[in-house]
């Protein structure tokens, strides 16, 4: 009996105990919940976190000294805006082929691209892969020709001219000329004599260095002959195409005949990688080297004050090219890309680049005093009233003509016969006709 009571009492006690415990737990949960809500409600409003600025990506063809200068300029942009920029050096093929492939897949690694081919830019624009630049720049601040080259039929501007380059003529080492009693030629006959005199100097491999990548510097040299012997209008006509001038015309044949004669006389070296040719030129393996205004920034030039140039004797035109800024439609950071685009297009950024050398500003407000002595000399030479600045021929025509031009010139350089010359001109005419249609 006592045992039964005890068990009953325990059962009853156990029941009370459970109810009490459940109540305690419930009260605790409620208290915690209320405290939680109260804590949440009394929290100060969260401060908006400052968004981290993105790192922009820029593609260009520049390497070596040109790239170093550009990186310095980009450093100023980062200081001013807090936006970092990474620059990637692309080869001609990478840029010419790789970028359109990316854009046609509606994607882009680069935020801003720098390229010197107006025909290529307009093609990409016509396919709808670029952001319009009309409202990003003040077009009147740039030479009309530079803007027109990247303006479409609807007057929309698709790129901004950033850097202008000139191809003033043949570069030489002042001390080499002085030591060997050489003088700058003023006529084509004197130019040929100079080549013969340089060839006769001990230690010289050839009179003229021939640079190559995929045929490019050879095209600049050839254009100097076209304008020097045929006049600037001949080059402009060849750019227009077979409707204006055929590659098989007598005038063109005469120019190429003269060039072929000098090539056959072994005055020009075999084509070799263009920067290694600068080293050999500076080591006096060659006497002269036809190159653009960027020559003054090349690290292979030991002492820029010993460097000078002379124009193709009697020429009335020089080749000029412009490096344009474009923004892909699929740029990962379009707003910041526009900011960089506008900054680089402005006079301040260009003044920095001009001060670093080998760079001609395109913006009207870049002061002439910003140029180095040698750059100023080049600028003065190409700005003469008797000199017309004509677009780079193969850059202006673009497309498959450009690669054909390069490949055919490489052939002419190593096989300078009349037969080869005729074949070369036939091939160029065939491609020009194909491209025009």
**Which residue, 250 or 437, is less far from other proteins as judged by CB?**
437
Interatomic CA distance for residues 397 and 400, integer angstroms: 9
And the tokens for 48?
A: 């908006």
Whichever of 71 and 427 has its CB closer to other proteins, that residue is 427
Residue ranges of the alpha helices (H) in 288-397? 334-345, 347-356, 373-382, 393-397
**Least Å distance between CB 192 and other proteins?**
25
Give the angle 418-423-428 at the CA atoms, nearest 5°. 125
Q: Which lies closer to other proteins via its Cβ, residue 67 or residue 123?
A: 123
| Residue closer to other proteins (CB basis): 60 or 431 | 431
In angstroms, what is the minimal distance from the CB of 106 to other proteins?
Answer: 15
At closest approach, how far in Å is the CB of 404 from other proteins? 9
Residue 402: CB minimum distance to other proteins, A = 8
- Relative to beta strand 169-173, strand 286-291 is antiparallel
* Gap between the Cα atoms of 405 and 398, Å rounded: 10
Question: What are 160's strand-pairing partners?
Answer: 325
Cα angle: 93, vertex 291, 274; to 5 degrees:
50
Residue 42 CB neighbours (<10 A) = 7
| Min separation Cβ 127 and other proteins, Å | 7
Nearer to other proteins, 339 or 394 (CB): 394
First to last CA, the chain: 119
Nearer to other proteins among residue 365 and residue 430 (C-beta): 430
| Encoded tokens for 339 | 């900011």
State the nearest-atom distance from the C-beta of 411 to other proteins, in Å.
Answer: 3
Distance in angstroms (rounded) separating the CA atoms of residues 75 and 343: 12
Q: What is the CA radius of gyration of the chain?
A: 34
Interacting residues with other proteins (CB under 8 A) = 96-97, 100-101, 119-120, 123, 127, 214-215, 270-272, 398-400, 402-403, 407-408, 410-411, 413-415, 423-424, 427, 430
Closer residue to other proteins, CB minimum distance, 20 or 272: 272
For residue 184, the tally of other CB atoms under 10 A from its CB is: 17
* Rounded Cα–Cα distance for residues 282 and 171 (Å): 10
Smallest gap from residue 205 Cβ to other proteins (A): 10
Nearest CA among 129, 130, 150 for reference residue 139: 150
* 415 phi, psi to nearest 5 deg: -140, 70
Q: For the beta carbon of residue 250, count every other beta carbon within 10 angstroms.
A: 9
Would you say 91 or 144 has its CB closer to other proteins?
91
CB of 390 to other proteins, least distance (A): 21
- Min dist. Cβ of residue 99 to other proteins (A): 11
Tokens of 232: 């600037």
Least distance in Å: CB of 130 to other proteins? Answer: 14
Residue closer to other proteins by CB (options 247, 310) is: 247
Cα separation values, 86 from 55, 118, 347, Å: 7, 24, 22
Which CB, 180 or 420, lies closer to other proteins?
A: 420
**Closest alpha carbon to 288 in 219, 210, 356, 222:** 210
- Count, in order, helices (H) and strands (E) of the chain: 18, 13
Q: For 48, which DSSP code? A: P
């Amino acid at each position: 009996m006592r045992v039964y009571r005890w068990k009953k009492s325990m059962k009853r006690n156990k029941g009370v105990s459970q109810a009490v415990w459940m109540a305690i737990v419930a009260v605790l949960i409620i208290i915690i919940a209320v405290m939680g809500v109260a804590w949440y409600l009394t929290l100060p409003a969260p401060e908006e976190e400052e968004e981290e600025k993105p790192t922009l990506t820029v593609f260009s063809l520049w390497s070596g000294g040109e790239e170093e200068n550009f990186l310095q300029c980009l450093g100023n942009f980062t200081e001013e805006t807090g936006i970092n920029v990474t620059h990637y050096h692309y080869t001609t093929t990478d840029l010419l082929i790789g970028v359109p492939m990316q854009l046609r897949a509606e994607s882009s690694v680069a935020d801003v691209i720098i390229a010197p081919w107006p025909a290529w830019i307009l093609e990409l624009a016509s396919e709808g892969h670029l952001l319009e630049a009309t409202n990003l720049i003040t077009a009147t601040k740039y030479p009309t020709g530079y803007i027109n080259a990247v303006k479409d039929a609807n007057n929309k501007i698709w790129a901004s001219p950033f850097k202008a380059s000139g191809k003033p003529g043949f570069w030489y080492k002042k001390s080499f000329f002085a030591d060997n009693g050489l003088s700058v030629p003023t006529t084509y006959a004197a130019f040929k004599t100079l080549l013969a005199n340089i060839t006769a100097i001990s230690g010289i491999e050839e009179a003229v260095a021939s640079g190559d990548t995929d045929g490019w510097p050879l095209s600049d040299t050839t254009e100097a002959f076209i304008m020097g012997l045929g006049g600037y209008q001949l080059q402009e006509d060849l750019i227009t195409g077979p409707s204006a001038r055929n590659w098989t015309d007598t005038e063109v044949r005469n120019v190429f005949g003269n060039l072929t004669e000098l090539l056959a006389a072994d005055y020009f070296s075999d084509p070799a990688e263009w920067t290694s040719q600068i080293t050999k030129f500076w080591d006096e393996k060659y006497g002269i080297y036809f190159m653009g205004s960027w020559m003054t920034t090349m690290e292979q030039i030991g002492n820029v004050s010993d460097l000078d140039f002379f124009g193709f004797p009697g020429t009335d035109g020089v080749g000029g090219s412009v490096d344009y800024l474009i923004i892909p439609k699929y740029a990962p950071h379009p707003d910041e890309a526009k900011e960089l685009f506008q900054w680089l297009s402005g006079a301040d950024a260009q003044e920095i680049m001009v001060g670093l050398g080998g760079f001609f500003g395109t913006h009207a407000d870049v002061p002439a005093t910003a140029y180095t002595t040698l750059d100023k000399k080049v600028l003065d030479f190409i700005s003469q009233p008797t000199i017309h600045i004509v677009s780079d021929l193969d850059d202006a025509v673009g497309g498959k003509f450009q690669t054909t031009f390069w490949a055919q010139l490489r052939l002419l350089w190593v096989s300078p016969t009349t037969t080869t010359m005729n074949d070369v001109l036939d091939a160029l005419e065939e491609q020009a006709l194909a491209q025009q249609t």
